A and B are shown apart, each in its own frame.
Chain A
């Protein structure tokens, strides 16, 4: 019974994911899930290793370009192209991570920002491959046996890959590796004194995070049919960080919630783009002030308090497994 109860949220989540393209434009629904995955990759570093990356646009954007190029030049099925995007970004994350994890705090943020600017510059100059300012358009999306012309069709075809990304992020956080990451976040010298080569763990986390961002970016390019320079722009990195903070650092699912809010807001404000920045900023300030620990953690605790009289005993049991704001 308790087990079933614990599976309930996942069942609800999948039902929501399946119904989403009926409730809103399928393109928007896809963007929300992908930005959610992108922000999760940021949260993986920020919430679980304590590293604020301000350069994740590099991985999102490279994933998009790599997937677009793979799809355009070879016509591989979209899933393969998306995985090419993930692999390219994970690969790029190796040298970037190797150099960046030597820094902490604001210096780490600055180093990652600088690397991302470098990637932006290269993409801008390397016109033959990237299309320069025009970007790459008409990216095909195919899959043997499936007609993916309509956005809703692609949404459902991409959903398993997206869910795979979420599951991987969840797995990473709730694995022996995740425990070591939290230990490093809390007290790196102590972890070293126990014999953990902490830089290797941080590097692996960085590469996994880059790969997840690349997967999200690749699917974004395939879903929207283009890859363009603004995917690599520093404001894209900023947006991912903003989504993570809105949803709640170190909550993983909060990133998805943050993506819903930011993208819905942006969609609602498309008719008045000049107001969008101000409104998003204002919403951000209000949410951060009202929900100190982000929407997810605050909402979850409220829900627990509300449900407490009914299932208090059960929650006590699950508390040990859910544990203190890490889930």
Chain B
């Protein structure tokens, strides 16, 4: 195999994930260029979230390799991959219900340090993350809700916090699983702006059903169907692709 001239942000070779004989991801070879926004689209059940779980270590591949930012991460646990500069958000909002929005931001900001092991220190040790935490919450429109437990936030604000957590890690690779799911027009607008801002200096991979968002943000679109990549390229090209049109026929969204 020849050595690639560039280091891809994400590279997979023959990636397969089987669930009890069913192939949710079925031989995916990705080469994602760094610094771009890549949209991962496809009908429900195409394997998008499963692919995310493979990239972030939440699932072990049945076969194939994952190379992230130039290093082989196949089989590494999620926290080791996260510590290499990979942040993800979850399709189904995934927060710490008893912790406040501010504590969420602090947890994310301190994750790179070892302050979390200090069982002998007072909570004052977290003070130095407070300003940046408040800034971050303000950026996603949560300034007024900083001291509310996440479990008691309205849905839209939970999604915003979900995104804030990923951004707070200051990752090199940002994986967002349907960041605008269930949002109203205004929130979608703000989320697009946020992602665009967060994109500076980073690679973003975005699972998205809203084609307006894809058209606006994505440099590159990858279409997944039944665990396989059926098309990739610019949005304008991909949406004319006969295979893609066929895949989306009968699908409610597009």
Indicate, yes or no, whether A interacts with B: yes
Using CB atoms and an 8 Å cutoff, list the residues of chain A in contact with chain B: 171-172, 174-180, 182-183, 185-187, 189-198, 200-201, 204, 208, 320, 323-326
Bound-state CA distance A194–B82 (Å) is 6
Q: List 17 A-B contacts (CB under 8 A).
A: A171-B119, A171-B120, A172-B119, A176-B121, A177-B119, A179-B99, A179-B107, A180-B107, A186-B95, A189-B58, A190-B90, A190-B165, A192-B58, A194-B87, A195-B83, A195-B169, A198-B79
Q: What range describes how many residues of B lie at the interface?
A: 35 or more
With both beta carbons as reference points, the residue of chain A lying nearest to B149 in the complex is identified as A324
Q: A192-B82, A194-B165 are in contact. Are A176 and B110 (CB under 8 A)?
A: yes
Q: Mark B68-104, 1 if CB is under 8 A from A, else 0.
A: 0000000001111011000110100011111110010
- Residue pair A176, B111 in contact (C-beta under 8 Å): no
Question: Which of B96, B115, B123, B125 is the most central at the interface, judged by chain A CB atoms within 10 Å of its CB?
Answer: B96
Bound-state CA distance A187–B149 (Å) is 14
With both beta carbons as reference points, the residue of chain A lying nearest to B113 in the complex is identified as A176
Q: How many A-B pairs with Cβ below 8 Å?
A: 110
Partner of B117, one of A186, A193, A204: A204
Partner of B116, one of A176, A185, A324: A176
- Residue pair B94, A190 in contact (C-beta under 8 Å): yes
- Residue pair B125, A189 in contact (C-beta under 8 Å): no
B183 CB to closest chain A CB (Å) equals 20
Partner of B118, one of A176, A189, A208: A176
With both beta carbons as reference points, the residue of chain A lying nearest to B109 in the complex is identified as A194
B139 CB to closest chain A CB (Å) equals 18
Known: A171-B122, A175-B123, A176-B123. 17 other contacts (CB 8 A): A171-B119, A171-B120, A176-B118, A177-B121, A179-B106, A180-B107, A186-B96, A186-B97, A186-B99, A190-B94, A193-B94, A194-B79, A195-B83, A196-B111, A201-B116, A201-B117, A320-B147
Bound-state CA distance A51–B123 (Å) is 23
- Residue pair A177, B118 in contact (C-beta under 8 Å): yes
Within B152-188, which residues are at the interface with A (CB < 8 Å)?
165, 169
- Residue pair A194, B111 in contact (C-beta under 8 Å): yes
Q: A193-B82, A193-B87 are in contact. Are A179 and B56 (CB under 8 A)?
A: no
Please name the 10 residue pairs, one residue from A and one from B, whose CB atoms are nearest each other, closest first.
A177-B119, A195-B82, A186-B96, A192-B78, A195-B111, A180-B116, A194-B111, A172-B119, A195-B83, A183-B96
B68 CB to closest chain A CB (Å) equals 14
B168 CB to closest chain A CB (Å) equals 8
B143 at the interface (CB under 8 A from A): no
B126 at the interface (CB under 8 A from A): yes
- Residue pair A175, B120 in contact (C-beta under 8 Å): yes
Question: Which of A176, A182, A204 is the most central at the interface, judged by chain B CB atoms within 10 Å of its CB?
Answer: A176
- Residue pair A176, B95 in contact (C-beta under 8 Å): no
Using CB atoms and an 8 Å cutoff, list the residues of chain B in contact with chain A: 56, 58, 77-80, 82-83, 87-88, 90, 94-100, 103, 106-108, 110-112, 115-123, 125-126, 147, 149, 165, 169
With both beta carbons as reference points, the residue of chain A lying nearest to B150 in the complex is identified as A186
Q: A180-B107, A182-B96, A324-B98 are in contact. Are A175 and B118 (CB under 8 A)?
A: yes
- Residue pair B119, A208 in contact (C-beta under 8 Å): yes
Bound-state CA distance A190–B123 (Å) is 21
B203 CB to closest chain A CB (Å) equals 17
Bound-state CA distance A46–B181 (Å) is 35
Partner of A190, one of B96, B110, B115: B96
What residues on B are CB-neighbors of A179 within 8 Å? Answer: 99, 103, 106-107, 116, 123, 126
